[in-house]
Structure 1
Amino acid sequence: MSSYHTPVMLKECIEGLNIRPDGTYVDVTFGGGGHSRAIMKKLGKNGRLLAFDQDADSQKNLVDDDRFEFIDQNFRYLKNFCRLHNAIPVNGILADLGVSSYQFDQAERGFSIRFDAELDMRMNQTGSLTAKEVVNTYTEADLHRIFGIYGEIQNAKSLAKTIVTARLNAPINTVADLKNAIAGLIPRGKENKYLAQVFQALRIEVNQELEVLKDFLIQSAEVLVSGGRLVVMSYHSLEDRLVKNFIAKGKFSGEVEKDFYGNDQKPFDAVSRGAITASDEEIENNNRARSAKLRIAVKK
């Protein structure tokens, strides 16, 4: 497991779940199983843990325990599969969003700017849409949109135009092809940051990450018991904003709605004031913790 992914803010996540030994919990991003194993240690003989992961590689890390059930699915189907496993309501849900260290380190998956590989970026390896298809078939307007919104890239319009022009000469199939095609646009001294933003935008599009997160958050409110905990860790501002707004307002934009008596119509109350961040010591030992923001909420 340790080679797969070192769990970020493990202690804070487990404390945030406020685990009852006889409760039912869901880890919607199983990955290397680090968070799941820590949850299992807190469960008694009548406790249950359901774990979701759509990445086939994560199944190498399964927990051999009768209280553990693995669901080979995207967590946007949380409610359906909790119902199928007769697990509604649940006492706590944990989501550690983003790409695992293991996925970044698998060169052939195409997630990392460090390796040359096919532009893939699918978290579910049976999915049909790849980054290569996005780069080679999307219109200039669509590329402008995803680089601007998902990558928060300032010269997104020029970037889209450059890619569309470059692919007229030859398809952009690999990480190296893409780097070469856009080399003239990358700000000097900020190469890694810029390329990381480009790759983030493509990855979000390929995996529909923001739409998946919205679906999951809405369903989490529907499957949690009153008093149950939602613990979500995100790694970029787009995800964190959605989580923050949903906890604060019960929606992703606009103001919180009120009922006839003026009471807030929202399913959660925040447990932590603002986002929890990793300690300097953890960041020193695990660079991935640097950008992590943890939010904890309780179902009303």
Structure 2
Amino acid sequence: MNWEGVYHTEALKAPEAGAKVDALVSELGDDAVSASADAETDGAVSGNGFNHVTVLLHETVDMLAAGPGKLIVDCTLGGGGHTEFLLEQGATVWGIDRDPDARRAAALKLARFGSRFKVLAGNFQDVESILAQQGVSQVDGLLADLGVSSHQLDTASRGFSFREDGPLDMRMDTRAAFSARNLVNEAPEEEIADILWQFGEERASRAIARAIVKARSLAPITTTAQLARVVESVLPRKGRQHPGTRTFQALRIAVNGELDALDALLNSSVRLLGKGGRMAVITFHSLEDRRVKQFFDLRSRPEIDRPEWPAPRPNPDYCFRLLSRKPVTAGEEELSTNPRSRSAKLRGVEKII
């Protein structure tokens, strides 16, 4: 298999074993795995149905300025928490999700809103084609609440979590052919190390990759518990955060192509939003937040300047107004009731051209 085609490497290679990489990790931001750690420890899920604690609910809905006559696309339908509140404000909401569990649960939960709510199957990276199939090329709002849901983490059979043993899977779309089991058991050692470094910012990426290859040479790694034990053999447990947090995050991002999907969604927003339309994005780690921040910042500057230019020039990508200079984060009340919100950052823009 061509592993370069499975995930986006960005030419960021895992550091050599023993390399001093603390400075780079500090530059990248150490919050890259905090959301996963929070969810593993604190995710609030009940035993029945697709339950997920919605973060920054009021802040997100306010940012989208939802109301009657507005068409909002929730690109990460999940448990339907944001969508439900948007519908209660009178908006029409179409929810996209690649997880069939989420779609089924949302369809039941939100059926009372009738024709103002529609469930669409797919990956949000294809949002333009998904909407085109519905005869729509422009919307009033786009919402994306990124990352893994509490339901996915809590359901052992989905294979996302080291908290409970389950098949090593991690596919958000259970119909997809490529799973974490394929990656862990088939990818070359160097590729695994690069994934762990790039998508998990794991400083022990090479040592963990080496341990994975050694373990799979004895027997296939088929469960989350097996993988967690391999990681713990390299990084003994200490403190609150499980040593496998970064590894599990990295594999999940690679398996689901999450960062490439985010890039595609951001680019689509420029074409899909009409003048006055708004986009709100909630991120949970620095890899996502950095992408969103840079995309929004670049397109919210009327002019751009470079040292070699005699004067600033008009920005050909200018089309947005930032809705907040800094990311919106959870207040004390939400933090006390939903620890998962600790890592959430909300950014938004309004289309002005």
Q: Say whether the fold is shared (TM-score over 0.5).
A: yes
The answer to whether the 8 A contact 2:72-2:141 is kept is yes
How far is the alpha carbon of 1:198 from its aligned partner?
0.7
Q: Structure 2: which amino acid aligns with 1:70? A: V
For the pair 1:56 / 2:100, whether they are aligned, the reply is: yes
2:74·2:96 contact (CA, 8 Å) conserved in 1? yes
Cα deviation, 1:176-216, whole Å, max 9, x if unaligned, reads 21122232211441473431111000100110000010011
Deviation string for 1:243-296 (max 9, x for gaps)?
111101149xxx9689x9812223322111111110122112112111101001
Describe the shift of the 1:190–1:79 C-alpha distance in structure 2 as closer, same or farther (beyond 3 A).
same
SS of aligned partner of 2:340:
helix
Aligned length: 293
1:10 to 48, 51, 57: 57
Task: Please provide the CA RMSD for this pair.
Answer: 2.1
Look up the SS of the partner of 2:132 in the other structure: helix
Write the letter of the residue equivalent to 1:270.
L
Secondary structure at the aligned position of 1:129 is classed as coil
Unaligned runs of 5+ in 1: none
Q: Which runs of 5+ in 2 are unaligned?
A: 1-44
Counterpart of 1:210 in structure 2 is: 259
For 2:225 and 2:160, how far apart are their aligned partners in 1? 13
SS in 2 for 1:19: coil
CA contact (8 A) 2:70 2:92 kept: yes
Does residue 1:29 correspond to 2:46, yes or no? no
Q: Return the alpha-carbon distance in structure 2 between the equivalents of residues 256 and 140 of structure 1.
A: 42
CA contact (8 A) 1:24 1:87 kept: no
Stretch deviating more after TM superposition (2-11 or 67-76) = 2-11
The residue number in structure 2 matching 1:280 is 332
**Is 1:123 matched with 2:172?**
yes
Paired with 1:181 and 1:187, the residues of 2 have a C-alpha distance of 10
Q: Classify 1:256/1:73 alpha carbon distance in 2 versus 1 (closer, same or farther; 3 Å).
A: farther
Moved more, 59-68 or 90-99: 59-68
- 1:154-193 equivalences in 2 (<5 Å): 154-190=203-239, 192-193=241-242
Tell me the equivalent position of 2:314.
Answer: 263
The answer to whether the 8 A contact 2:189-2:209 is kept is yes
Return the letter of the residue paired with 2:76.
Answer: T
**What is the one-letter code of the residue matched to 1:285?**
T
Q: Give the corresponding residue for 2:250.
A: 201
Tell me the amino acid that sits aligned with residue 230 of structure 1.
Answer: M
Instruction: Report the CA distance between 1:242 and its aligned residue.
Output: 0.6
Deviation at residue 154 of structure 1 after TM alignment? 0.5
CA distance 1:257–1:27, change in 2 (3 Å):
farther
Distance 1:262 1:7 in 2: 42
- Tell whether 2:154 aligns with 1:105: yes
Going from structure 1 to structure 2, the CA distance change for 1:48 and 1:214 (only over 3 Å counts) comes to: same
Q: Does 1:89 align with 2:138?
A: yes
Maintained 8 Å contact 1:53/1:71: yes
1:150 match: secondary structure: helix
Provide the rounded CA distance (Å) in 1 between the counterparts of 2:100 and 2:149.
13
TM-score by length of 1: 0.92
Q: In the alignment, which of 230, 237, 241 is matched to residue 290 of structure 2?
A: 241
Report the CA distance shift for 1:188/1:115 in structure 2 as closer, same or farther (over 3 A). Answer: closer
Would the alpha carbon gap of residues 156 and 298 (structure 1) be closer, same or farther in structure 2, given more than 3 Å must change?
Answer: same
Give 2:27's aligned residue. none
CA contact (8 A) 2:159 2:170 kept: yes
Give 3-state SS (helix, strand or coil) of 1:184's partner: helix
Task: Please say if residues 257 and 266 of structure 1, whose CA atoms lie closer than 8 Å, have aligned partners that are also in contact.
Answer: no
In the alignment, the residues of structure 1 paired with residue 98 and residue 237 of structure 2 have an alpha-carbon distance, to the nearest angstrom, of: 37
Residues 257 and 38 of structure 1: CA distance in aligned 2, closer, same or farther (over 3 Å) = farther
Judge conservation of contact 1:53–1:75 (CA < 8 Å) in 2.
yes
Check the 8 A contact 1:111/1:121 in 2, yes or no.
yes
CA pair 151-229 structure 1, distance change in 2 beyond 3 A = same
Task: Report % sequence identity.
Answer: 38
* Residues in 2 aligned to 1:78 and 1:37: alpha-carbon distance in whole angstroms: 20
Name the residue aligned to 2:21.
none
**Deviations for 1:80-127, whole angstroms, at most 9, x for unmatched residues?**
122221232111111111111111110111111110111100000001
Q: How does 1:223-238 map to 2 (within 5 A)?
A: 223-238=272-287
Counterparts of 1:207 and 1:274, CA distance in 2? 28
Please tell me the residue identity of whatever aligns with 2:234: L
1:262 is aligned with what amino acid?
R
